[in-house]
Amino acid sequence: MKKSLFSLLAVIVMAGCTQSDVMEPVPNENVEIKLISSAIAAETMTRAPYEGTIAADNTLAARVLVSETSGNYTTTYANDKMVFTDNGSTAVGFATAKYYPVDNSTLHICGLYPFEGWGNPANDECKFTFNGSQDVMAAPEKSSTKNDSKDGNYPQLEFKHLLTQLVIKAVAEDEAAIAKWGKLTDITLTKVGKNNPSGAVTVSLSAGTADESSAFATLLDNGMSFWVRGAGTETAFASQAKELTTDGEEVAYSMVAPLKNATGTADYTLAVKTEHSGTTPVTVPVNLKTTGSSSADYTASTQGKKFVVLLTFKATEIKATATVKDWEEDGGSSEEIQ
């Protein structure tokens, strides 16, 4: 008997689109599993925040898991890479084609980003350990059959950001502040709310979610690093000696655990070191604010949000303000360092 071709093509979408139903049976036809997607694209394949759109010169490589049982991926029908080349138009499959079952039984499909670094799925969960340089996304489960997909009605994976992006912009108030502080040498995230930052996330595969309160349980004693964007592999900011300027510039970013309920007061806490700050880092609370003229306290989940943190170095102290962007950017913070 001819084997039914199961080719899973995945399209990453931030907003789903409707596919017409296919009712005609396909008794002996090869049908490849394929998917479509329209998620934002990454600056690099597995590192840095996802920004922009997927394109031929800015592809997205995701881990796609396929199971015969909804909500259980301990045993997978397929578990491999799909590389998406555009934002919601072209369906793609696995490098080695996978095929739908001949009997038209249902397959359940979900997605994870980045491709590398995930633990083995267990039931409906999978764990990823992150260091601040990687974006982490998940796409909830979609179901399909050979008949559903035979005419190009491919499932669409909708990837969403699970972390919070903090972008640091540093500015010196004046030349006196530059003389006092010298070069900026290290930035570390030491607190998420009142807790130490987490270095791992456990994803609910079928839902494509990671609860802000319970999914980030692996806490770090030494904080989370910030990173310098680059064309290749990102570099930890701790290896830098960055000149302060009165014009100000973006100096670092980190992808960190989200807060379920920010308050606008000490939502995150930084430890900042400079050339002249001494052996003890300067503790800088980051108070999140909404964008716009009101600059009200930001009081919502920070998951999937980008906050621009403005560190202002003064001759007497360091302060920070942050407003979030919809990367989703919804606000940010501005703090002074004196």
State the DSSP code for 118.
B
Whether 109 and 184 share a structural domain: no
Is 70 exceeded by the pLDDT of residue 79?
A: yes
Q: Report how far residue 113's alpha carbon sits from residue 49's, in angstroms, rounded to the nearest whole number.
A: 11
For residue 286, what are the CA distances in angstroms to 142, 199, 318? 38, 19, 11
Average pLDDT over every residue of 320-327: 76
Is 324 inside any structural domain? yes
Q: pLDDT band for 50, please (50, 70, 90 cuts).
A: low
Backbone angles phi, psi at 148, to 5 degrees: -60, -40
Containing structural domain, residue 310? 164-199+220-337
Q: Is residue 210 part of a domain?
A: no
**Cα dihedral sign for 129, 250, 212, 335?**
positive
Residues 194-209 pLDDT 10s? 999 999 999 999 999 9
| Statement to judge: residues 150 and 176 lie in one domain | no
Long-range contacts of residues 314-320, Cβ cutoff 8 Å, at least 24 apart:
314/173, 314/177, 314/338, 315/173, 315/174, 315/176, 315/177, 315/180, 318/181, 318/272, 318/282, 318/284, 319/284, 320/270, 320/284, 320/285, 320/286, 320/287
- % the chain with pLDDT above 90: 64
What is the gyration radius of the CA atoms in the chain, in angstroms?
22
More confident residue, 132 or 11: 132
State pLDDT tens for residues 248-257.
999 999 999 9
Within 13 Å, how many C-alpha atoms sit on residue 321's CB side?
12
Clarify whether residues 156 and 176 are in a common domain: no
* Residue 333 pLDDT level (bands cut at 50, 70, 90): low
Kindly state whether residues 154 and 117 are assigned to the same domain: yes
Instruction: Say whether both 147 and 177 belong to one domain.
Output: no
Q: How many structural domains are present in the chain?
A: 2
- Chain segment 259-311, per-residue pLDDT in tens: 999 999 999 999 999 999 999 999 999 999 998 766 799 999 999 999 999 99
Residue 92 sits in the same domain as residue 177: no
| Closest CA relative to residue 108, chosen from 76, 149, 143, 65 | 143
pTM for this prediction: 0.86
Q: Which residues contact 269 (CB under 8 A, 6 or more apart)?
A: 189, 190, 191, 283, 284, 285, 286
| 139 shares its domain with 182 | no
Domain contains 45: yes
Q: Are residues 85 and 16 in the same domain?
A: yes
| DSSP calls for 171-212 | EESSHHHHHHH-SEEEEEEEEETTBPPBSEEEEETTTTB--T
Residues 169 and 149 in one domain: no
Q: Which of 112, 113, 116 is nearest to 124 (CA)?
A: 112
Secondary structure of residue 239 in the 3-state scheme: helix
- Residues paired with 320 in a beta bridge: 334, 335
Q: What is the pLDDT of residues 88-139, one digit of tens each?
A: 778 899 999 999 999 999 999 999 999 999 999 999 999 999 999 999 999 9
Comparing CA positions, the residue from 260, 243, 261, 254 lying closest to residue 313 is 243
Instruction: Tell me: do 154 and 112 sit in the same domain.
Output: yes
The yes-or-no verdict on residue 227 having pLDDT over 90 is yes
Is the domain of 151 the same as that of 28? yes
Q: Residues with Cβ < 8 Å from 66, sequence gap 6 or more? A: 8, 33, 76, 77, 78, 79, 98, 107, 108, 109
CATH number at residue 327: 2.60.40
| Alpha-carbon separation of residue 9 from 24, 112, 126, 166 (angstroms) | 20, 14, 22, 33
Q: Are residues 124 and 14 in the same domain?
A: yes
Q: Is residue 90 part of a domain?
A: yes
Q: Is 212 inside any structural domain?
A: no
